[in-house]
Structure 1
């Protein structure tokens, strides 16, 4: 007999298919769900990013003509985190997605969502209910709890506008909180300040206060990298923690950027 789902901290809620506030509420529910589990900071970040990729795809690309809401279901089953994201759009074949690691696509700022889901979770399954969209199920085994007293990195949840600091020929963007699609406008504006500053030759992105980043953030970094190269400027990523490095390594971008 199949194991019955256990929902000590599970939730099921609808995601808006037309506006981001619903997605923000879902992120809050996901964050609370993960904080209640015996996970390290890096494990929390990995699951958060993978599920966020699935949610963004469902909300932005899984619309149905009736605008039926996508759903997020969070549960724990037999020692595994099990997350299901269901939309009611036209569906897609994940095997037909272009390989984001192909040399000709490495510099493109999009197309890494499924790659990150598969890299960060133990199992990712796509199913297609007849005539009714896409269901993505993500699973990750919960590792044994860390010894009592082990340090747990703080998991910042607030998105804040990047802080710009310029010292000589180096301009630094200090990021605070998750670096994801929510930060797109502020990151574009503040990074453009440094691109437009003729005195700045090196642009540093400071990740010291960033718990995680998603595929949208990778796209922003690549756009900045390409824009800087066109102006003979360089981009450096500094103070990258384990969670941030894990995403960069999964996307094979550690050689694209100088990381200090």
Structure 2
């Protein structure tokens, strides 16, 4: 999947579309096509095409062999109850990132997703830095477990993050800080993993704070999905640790 996204990014050089928004929407479309359209079957194929019009409009077409679904039946993932689900955010993100989202279901089978993007003067920007493998490290400060996430927290890396966090909770860590200061990109799968871990921590009378996600793409996704209402989000991990200690600190929520 990453190779496809990289190829599309190269095709966007010189165009005035919101590149970060487009690439995230394409990721969401690809993940849905692989998970649902192909049901994870490696023998099934997903086709992707990109068209750039003279006026700067870009269209991305993603086709999978799946049986299709009813787009209007997907619940709003920002609702008080739905926000705690580990999945179901992809279509919502695509609808907010693209200027137009259309699904077609040909009579001979399959699903065709068409994403349209108009020229944009501004967009979310990923955190500075080149893409990198996602190292996840844990450390302890004043009895609080800090999980540092670098790179992308997406469909590929979210299970790794969740495994590390679950291991920490199994080791009786009840106060967690997820430090996203070096996280370059957050997608719906990463968001779902954050909610799942938080739900587990709170089930054992603990809590989970975020740090470093106060601006840029990661902050934008959190706000769009309504997750800024769920988490206290501090400027630094140290500030989050101080809040657990009752020292007080400023946080966004």
Q: TM-score, normalised by structure 1?
A: 0.79
Distance 1:191 1:145 in 2: 35
Assess, with a 3 A threshold, how the Cα gap between structure 1 residues 236 and 45 changes in structure 2: closer, same or farther: farther
Per-residue CA deviation, residues 65-110 of structure 1 (Å, 9 max, x unaligned), is 9955211112322212221111122111201223323433221111
The alpha-carbon deviation at position 227 of structure 1 amounts to 0.7
Distance 1:90 1:51 in 2: 20
Partner of residue 185, structure 2: 212
Distance 2:136 2:9 in 1: 22
Partner of residue 112, structure 1: 89
1:243 aligned to 209, 213, 217, which one?
Answer: 217
> Stretches of 4+ moved more than 6 A in 1?
none
Distance 2:57 2:79 in 1: 32
Whether the 8 Å contact between 1:155 and 1:211 is mirrored in structure 2 is yes
For the aligned residue pairs, the C-alpha RMSD in angstroms reads: 2.6
The alpha-carbon deviation at position 246 of structure 1 amounts to 1.3
Partner of residue 47, structure 1: 22
User: Alignment partner of 1:83: what SS?
Assistant: strand
User: Alignment partner of 2:81: what SS?
Assistant: helix
Whether the 8 Å contact between 1:161 and 1:186 is mirrored in structure 2 is no
Assess, with a 3 A threshold, how the Cα gap between structure 1 residues 210 and 97 changes in structure 2: closer, same or farther: same
Written as runs of structure 1 = structure 2, the 5 A alignment for 1:88-99 is 88-99=65-76
The alpha-carbon deviation at position 57 of structure 1 amounts to 1.0
2:195 aligned to 214, 222, 226, which one?
Answer: 222
Distance 2:222 2:126 in 1: 21
The alpha-carbon deviation at position 247 of structure 1 amounts to 0.9
1:75 aligned to 47, 51, 54, which one?
Answer: 51
User: Unaligned regions of 5+ residues in structure 1, if any?
Assistant: 1-22
2:134 aligned with 1:134, yes or no?
no
Assess, with a 3 A threshold, how the Cα gap between structure 1 residues 217 and 125 changes in structure 2: closer, same or farther: same
Written as runs of structure 1 = structure 2, the 5 A alignment for 1:117-196 is 117-144=94-121, 153-196=127-170
Distance 1:46 1:159 in 2: 21
Assess, with a 3 A threshold, how the Cα gap between structure 1 residues 44 and 236 changes in structure 2: closer, same or farther: farther
Whether the 8 Å contact between 1:73 and 1:83 is mirrored in structure 2 is yes
Partner of residue 10, structure 1: none
User: Unaligned regions of 5+ residues in structure 2, if any?
Assistant: 235-253
The alpha-carbon deviation at position 217 of structure 1 amounts to 0.6
Distance 2:42 2:160 in 1: 33
User: Alignment partner of 1:69: what SS?
Assistant: coil
Distance 1:158 1:50 in 2: 20
